[in-house]
Chain A
């Protein structure tokens, strides 16, 4: 079956956010695999691994697509990587919203708040562009 490509152009700062989000998700999936791998009876329960390995693969593939390193503009196919893209950015958005809220309550947290708010703007802009590309 041929999948229609849904290409999204990401400027370097957005690519950075997506990379950070995907690394976080990759780390979480790795942690889940590590936990399952250390449980008694793991050899008899491959189903403990399937979902975590699938999530690991999705984020690894997204990182391969955007590049693990170069802060360059990139183009990604949301038809192929949309699931990992949205999952990672939504989690990162939640984290930045939390940081912005907490830093408002902290004395001297202005710098952290401004950084979090800048990241929130970038992530929301990135998500909005992606929604347009997939036609929502």
Chain B
């Protein structure tokens, strides 16, 4: 079992974003493989699967460490997964920024805008901590 020193704690405020993006890694890699397999010459070009298989393993390894089930509270992931965690957080920040901007354009109410902005701030703050952790290692 991992000791607290070997894991990165992910606060509840960003956990759902992390899970959504982790599953998106799996979705993209498997979609890519499905597309490759449908090509009639796929049996002659196995090298095309190398990239998506690697991306699938990366997403799966992350979920294996994180746990495939969304927890009620905080989550944690092995410290070795920090590069994937950083990728996941970066993607989540882009999506949250887009959501906030399109919400503003559509004239969402103040409360919703405030909540979305607060979620984005949590993501930015946590990502900064992970970047600092990466720099320190």
Residue ranges of A at the interface with B (Cβ–Cβ < 8 Å): 16, 19-20, 23-24, 26-27, 30-31, 33-34, 37-38, 42-44, 46, 49, 53, 60, 63, 68-69
Contacts and interface: CB of A to CB of B under 8 A. Distances in A.
Nearest to B37: A27
Nearest 6 CB-CB pairs, A to B? A27-B37, A46-B68, A68-B46, A37-B27, A43-B70, A34-B30
Contacts of B33: 26-27, 30
A20 B37 contact: no
- Interface class of chain B by DSSP: helix
Interface of B: 16, 19-20, 23-24, 26-27, 30-31, 33-34, 36-38, 42-43, 46-47, 49, 53, 56, 60, 68-70
Contacts, number: 56
Contact of A31 (B26, B30, B60, B69): B30
A43 B37 contact: no
Contacts of A63: 46
B26 A37 contact: yes
B34 A42 contact: no
18 contacts: A19-B43, A20-B43, A23-B37, A27-B36, A30-B30, A30-B31, A30-B33, A30-B56, A33-B27, A37-B23, A37-B30, A43-B70, A44-B70, A46-B68, A53-B60, A63-B46, A69-B46, A69-B47
